Chain A
């Protein structure tokens, strides 16, 4: 087991380097000296100092090395547009809000999606199953901005129960979390239903039933536990889903999170911030994949050899 973990962790390092490299190369293609005269009028001497400080005139591989060093020491570089502000500041101010939103959405999806999938599986091929699956298919297909808009329209505007936008009190946080959690909820429901149907047919389930265990106990003890393993594996890709969704949800609810900042930075052509945030999001997804893989190895020993 230790060998598996060590190997998996070591694999992550080249992976990180490749992803940072790809982002780095892509950002370079956008091109231009970031310290163009037109955008930031500074004396020539200052311009030269700036270029020296940020290694603008060094060859690309040295710049890449500097950047990687920065990333591994948690320094994502300065903002090119806002003076005296670096990417770390932006992450520190705005990222917690995005994480909070993502966690609530994830919890919402988990709390509703898992039972929905369970019920559908236990009532397989009945109208309960069909309607649960139809609902989850619809929720999976509806774009989050429609869910968000309808929630705002009916719950915030018509009923007036919660505010329409912002991210301050807990009342503000209800609607965005639900809107972002809808898609993942549908995903969980379908996933849990699928694996549960599979688990229900396993020999050990039949054995447990044959031994005379109550149905409830079999489901709670044997089936559910083994059905939830794939939910853990889904958490990795789901993170990407939630990141994508947060771009839209943060815009609609006017939440000053990372997604909104990302869009603003693109509009302001603040490319060092764009690069920093892209690298950050990618690193998070990669590390999540790592954790998920290790968890999967612990939970399901059969996968260790195949994946190591």
Chain B
């Protein structure tokens, strides 16, 4: 059953119901269906599991580890992986297993924060464009066309220069400022399609106000698309953070993100490649998983687009 189908029935069964109790049984079936489709997709299921493992590792490892992530010990510097230090140590003798988890927290915080910012701007822009339609839509979309494909890195760098400070929060802003165009397009497309549905026409015909149509029918039905969009945007943002920090314009020591750790590792990679490989592989793992999860979610939440 499609998202719209469930909604239509929800509307038919209780048009006067309060938003909080709007047809809960039908909706849970919809999400159950989607879940069933998702876990049957092996690649997506594995990727989702690995994603959760990486997430838990970043959250738990710093507490569980016997090593102080900031303890400098030159006697232990630049070790290769061992039982004591599963990922080895960096050039200061700090345990990379613990530090990678801490760096992952920063990377993921920036990643999810920037993704949410992208979604917020994208939803507002796309919803306005698609909902109003006509000339406004045309103008807003032409503006997007203008910005489409612009390299985000220079604009992220300029944004950081404007703010004048580089920390987790400013990185979120910098990485989202030139990255929301795709999401805005997707949301607009979805709203345009939904707008033509009979139940929206029906709502209009019975005199529902525009904010009710938008809030009750259009945006909730965009939810599936938005969940997919999270995992579509996340890889780009994670890589963007890594690039920025790697070229020395992002998170800088003593704070660590995966990008900053890779940058630190680069200075010694000739003698000790582990220090750059570990954070880079962490980035690649997360990005790879997010890509597969996005594909799986797309198939699960919108069966119409499924590949044959």
The answer to whether B161 touches A30 (Cβ under 8 A) is yes
A162 within 8 A of B: no
**What are the residues of chain A within 8 A of B266 when measuring CB–CB?**
145, 149, 252
**B9 near A: Cβ within 8 Å?**
no
Determine the chain A residues whose CB is within 8 A of the CB of B273 once the complex forms: 149-150, 153
> Counting CB contacts under 8 A, is B269 at the interface?
yes
Size bracket, chain B contacts: 35 or more
Task: Let me know if B287 is at the binding interface, CB within 8 A.
Answer: yes
Interface residues in A114-146 (C-beta closer than 8 Å to B)? 137-138, 140-143, 145-146
Contact, CB under 8 Å: A19 / B157: no
Q: Given A30-B161, A262-B157, A278-B158, A141–B235 Cβ distance below 8 Å?
A: yes
The listed residue (B148, B153, B162, B287) touching A30 by CB distance below 8 A is B162
Instruction: Name B218-243 residues within 8 Å CB distance of A.
Output: 235, 239, 242-243
Find out whether the CB atom of A251 lies under 8 angstroms from the CB atom of B247. yes
A241 to B150, CA, bound (A): 9
- How many residues belonging to A are interface residues under a CB distance threshold of 8 Å? 49
Residue of B whose beta carbon sits closest to that of A288? B149
Could you tell me the distance between the alpha carbons of A153 and B269 in the complex, rounded to whole angstroms?
8
Instruction: State how many angstroms separate the Cβ of A296 from the closest Cβ of chain B.
Output: 14
Shortest Cβ distance from residue B281 to the other chain A in the assembled complex, whole angstroms: 7
Q: Mark B143-155, 1 if CB is under 8 A from A, else 0.
A: 1011111111111
Smallest CB–CB gap between B244 and chain A, Å? 9
Q: How far in angstroms is the closest Cβ of chain B from A227?
A: 16
Residues of chain B from 102 to 156 with CB closer than 8 A to chain A in the complex: 142-143, 145-155
Q: What is the minimal beta-carbon distance from A36 to any residue of chain B, in angstroms?
A: 16
Given the known inter-chain contacts A11-B142, A143-B262, A145-B266, please indicate yes or no for A19 contacting B161, CB distance below 8 A.
Answer: no
| Contact between chains at B243 and A138 (CB < 8 Å) | no
Q: Which residues of A contact B248 (CB under 8 A)?
A: 263, 267
Task: Give complex CA distance A222, B281 in Å.
Answer: 41
Are A137 and B262 in contact, CB atoms less than 8 angstroms apart? no
Q: Does chain B have a CB within 8 A of A1?
A: no
Q: Give the Cβ gap from A13 to chain B, nearest Cβ, in Å.
A: 11
Contact check, B152 vs A248: say whether CB atoms are below 8 A apart: no
Q: Least Cβ distance of B155 to chain A in Å? A: 7
Within 8 A of B (CB), among A1-35: 11, 14-15, 18-19, 23, 26-27, 29-30
Contact of A26 among B149, B158, B243 (CB under 8 A): B158
B270 at the interface (CB under 8 A from A): yes
B150→A19 contact, CB < 8 A: yes
Q: Is A247 part of the binding interface, using a Cβ–Cβ cutoff of 8 Å?
A: yes
- Cβ contact within 8 Å between B153 and A141: no
Q: Is B87 an interface residue (CB 8 A)?
A: no
1/0 contact string of A271-303 vs chain B (CB within 8 Å): 100100110011001101100000000000000
A278 and B273 alpha carbons, distance in the complex (Å): 34
Contact A247 B243, CB 8 Å, known A143-B284, A145-B280: yes
Residue B288 at the chain A interface, CB threshold 8 Å:
yes
- Return the chain A residue nearest B270 by Cβ: A157
Across the two chains, which residue of chain B brings its CB closest to A274?
Answer: B158
Question: Is A266 a contact partner of B249 (Cβ separation < 8 A)?
Answer: yes
Whether the Cβ atoms of A244 and B235 lie closer than 8 Å is no
Establish whether residues B146 and A244, one from each chain, have CB atoms under 8 Å apart when the complex forms: no
Any chain B CB within 8 A of the CB of A224? no
Contact pick for B150, options A142, A145, A197, A240, CB 8 Å:
A240
Give the Cβ gap from A143 to chain B, nearest Cβ, in Å: 5
Is there contact, CB below 8 Å, between B149 and A141? no
Chain A, residue nearest B266 (CB): A149
**By the criterion CB–CB under 8 Å, are B143 and A18 in contact?**
yes
Say if the beta carbon of B246 comes within 8 Å of chain A. yes
When C-beta atoms are compared, the residue in chain A nearest to B146 turns out to be A15
Contact sample, A vs B, 19 pairs, CB 8 Å cutoff = A19-B150, A26-B158, A27-B158, A30-B162, A137-B292, A138-B288, A146-B262, A149-B277, A153-B273, A157-B270, A197-B307, A240-B149, A244-B153, A247-B247, A248-B243, A252-B266, A262-B154, A266-B249, A277-B154
Residues of B within 8 A of A (CB): 142-143, 145-155, 157-159, 161-162, 235, 239, 242-243, 246-249, 262, 266, 269-270, 273, 276-277, 280-281, 283-285, 287-288, 291-292, 307
Pick the 7 closest A-B CB pairs, nearest first: A146-B280, A15-B146, A141-B288, A141-B287, A240-B151, A243-B151, A142-B284
Known: A266-B249, A286-B149. 12 other contacts (CB 8 A): A11-B142, A26-B158, A30-B162, A140-B288, A141-B288, A142-B287, A197-B307, A236-B148, A240-B150, A240-B151, A244-B152, A286-B146
